Structure 1
Amino acid sequence: MRYDVSLVRCESYEEPRVRAALIEALDAIDGLAFLEKGMTVAIKTNLVSAMAPESAATTHPTMLGELVKLLFERGAGEVIVGDSPGGLYNAAFVGRVYKVTGMRELEKLGARLNDDFSQKEADYPEGKVLHHFTYTAYLDKADAIIDFCKLKTHGMMGMSGAAKNMFGCIPGVIKPEYHYRFPKHDDFARMIVDLDCFFKIKLCICDAVVGMEGNGPTMGTPRQIGAVLASASPHKLDLAAASLIGLTKADVPTLEAAYERELIPADVSELSVYGDPQAFLVSDFKTIPVHGSLEFKKESSNFFGKIIKVFLSSALRSRPTVKKDECVGCEVCLKICPAKAIVMEKGKPVIDREACIRCFCCQEFCPKGAMKVKRTLISKLLTK
């Protein structure tokens, strides 16, 4: 039997444990069946920023190293590891990210860190919302793409997993443009699913040995989960991964978008999973509420009913806020904001609530973690 998702215990980043867990997880889903002798394989990893592996913001280098070894052992001709972090997409900027995140160790194993920073344009008429986009050209050099993500909380999407990881194919400096093009969470999620479908990923793996809780995806707190997940589908993997940290389809917009297209069932219980998700559940994992869980039982045809629904939907959405005592006035948030909703007053950022599209770029890239995700008062009163 080929499982939809494999879920294997891995309590540390010690090489023997990681290797054993990866082999078990991949064998359970026949995950390397696509691999042919001499193939070029691109590993799209999560290198969101220049942060050390201990921060739990990026895919751990030991996980990647053991996968690189397995790929070469099973016949791969070349392995390229890459990502486009937030920021400049050039050799100097990305090179620093490679160094700090521990990626240089992979070169000793024969892997090539992507050094092609050219970009390509894609027309995608089949996309639901994304019909034209710019992407990192190195992915075209591969015969197969592996999506190797990190399990983290995310201010805009609730969770960063395999689906969200492919947003890293958009060159860093133009990522804010896509937030501005798709300011609504649901549409942004649909755009992510379009990217996942376009690239026809062969294999997805999730580093959930140590995940990130709280103020993710960069400034949260490392949290032991002790798992490695694998699947041929980024959305099935994410549905299983979400269950480990107490989230359901309704909590993660990319899962809702995948469900719309019948790419996943409604609940993890409907997947065939190698391993027991309940055994890995971290019940007190600190998540980020994307929106409240208030449900409208019936679609109102009344004008005022519709107005109330729109008001509540907006009022229930979390928003970024500034902890001024932690802010150093570096202006990163000012420069990254796609909606130009931030101004500096007395050396501190002030957010224009009317202009803010709640993309949480400011929160994701604040180097001091001074930008937080805040639930509104009405959300706290009316929702769980």
Structure 2
Amino acid sequence: MRGTLTRAIFAAMMALGGAGVAHAQSNVTLYGIIDAGITYVSNQSGNHQFKFEDGANFGNRWGLKGSEDLGGGLRAIFDLQNGFALGTGALRQNGAEFGREAFVGLSSDKYGTLTFGNQYDFIFDTITPFNVNGYASVYSGHMGNFDRISGVQVPNSVKYMSKSYSGLTFGAMYGFGNTAGNFHRNSSYSGSIAYTHGGFSTGAVYTRLYNVGIYPYAQIGVTQFLGQTVATRNADGSVNDLYYTTPFTVDRDSTAAVGASYQIGKVTVVGNFTSTNLRYGSNSATMNVYEAGAMYAPAPDVLLIGGWEYTTFAGAHWHQPTLGAQYYLSKRTSFYANVTYLRASSGVDANQGAGFYSLPSNTQTQIVSRIAMIHRF
């Protein structure tokens, strides 16, 4: 009986597939980005460092994406995106085959796009384009990346994005925690609204996640975090990071963010504000990031970028000016150079790149500079 039923289902699927061949059109595209260069860090635990580093400003990736025309303005779509380290050939995103993105869904000219899988939330989609300092230098991303502006995936998620209504778009997303007996644990949701008209663009997002792992000292250089000791200082000035390998899990991470840009001739003025509240038990604190800057294109193949970030969190604060330049040999190949300076308030060890690229300085300041090339395919 089971074999007969299986053969019947298979025959029906083949018949449907054959019937669709006449009108369905599909395509698959191989694409990717390779970023490689040399980075200088002025102070990592008291020592400076020159190092080869790849996937910095633009994470190294290759991917497959495609679509099938289903007729009536409806398409089936998918995107599988792998992240890798060029210097070693190793997988990134904790060794996941398609850790950067992996989703399948439907796209409609009338109603928008609905996708299912491992996807970025709307902070990345809507606010990251206004992260002018981060575009100049990845090391100048927002402190700790607590607001996820550098891009963090939401696994097991369902995401809807509207079509454009005269420049207005909106979206909603839900990430399933997949925890038996506790629907709430490890779950998340995100929503956005954005508008573009001529040279003006703006967007606003709210994202909330539950049970999020954070590395407080490595990411923002503090020893006290939400009422807990997360690192201790030895008599010689060295630091014991109590959460270097095992994350400190906050109960809730909530971010409200807004950004805008306006292009005036060869100059684009950009700014954003994010406010992230972290809660652990009865303790909570809010990180506010204020960022503004500009991009100037004096020639079609040259882009100059400058910006400033000011961040506050639980009595601490950070100043971070950044300069960057990009030179395009072609549409696919370019070089970039940047320098960013971070100064933290007293008692905080400066660390750039949200703890992903370097160790904290043993002082309040840290300088990071990089020169690299990018190739797109």
Q: TM-score, normalising length from structure 1?
A: 0.25
The structure with the larger Rg is 2
More strand by share: 2
Bigger relative contact order, structure 1 or 2, given CA contacts below 8 A and separation 6+?
A: 1
More helix by share: 1
